[in-house]
């Protein structure tokens, strides 16, 4: 069972690369926010898988919940900021 959880965790890390690409090279700010939010969501699942591997799921659930809450608040704050700035749908500044 440990090999299964480890392979799922490695697959999840590989899938994070696609979200990382979207977060770094997204054409709009909204694409970047979605990429960062996807990375945060996958990190929560990765923390739970690590908890299963270490057989300390109770501790890692608390850490994952705190991280999920911080990820949620950060994305909401950033989206409100860019919405008030009217820059949510503009092209990226890194072009």
pTM across the whole model: 0.81
> Is there a domain that residue 89 lies in?
no
Q: In whole angstroms, what is the distance from residue 27 CA to residue 12 CA?
A: 24
> Is there a domain that residue 11 lies in?
yes
Q: How confident is the model at residue 92 (pLDDT cuts 50, 70, 90)?
A: low
Number of domains in the chain: 1
> Is there a domain that residue 53 lies in?
yes
> Is there a domain that residue 69 lies in?
yes
Number of H helices, E strands in the chain: 3, 0
Which residues constitute the domain of residue 6? Answer: 2-84
Burial of 55 from C-beta contacts in 10 A (0-12 / 13-18 / 19+):
exposed
Query: What percent of the chain has a predicted confidence (pLDDT) above 70?
Result: 91
Mean pLDDT of 52-67: 92
> Which pLDDT belongs to residue 93?
53
> Is there a domain that residue 71 lies in?
yes
The answer on pLDDT for 40 being more than 80 is yes
């Amino acid at each position: 069972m440990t090999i299964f959880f480890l392979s799922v965790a490695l697959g999840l890390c590989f899938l994070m690369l696609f979200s990382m690409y979207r977060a770094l090279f997204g054409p709009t700010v909204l694409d970047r926010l979605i990429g960062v939010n996807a990375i945060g969501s996958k990190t929560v699942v990765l923390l739970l898988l690590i908890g299963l591997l270490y057989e300390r799921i109770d501790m890692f659930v608390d850490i994952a919940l705190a991280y999920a809450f911080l990820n949620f608040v950060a994305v909401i704050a950033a989206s409100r900021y860019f919405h008030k700035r009217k820059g949510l749908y503009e092209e990226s500044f890194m072009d």
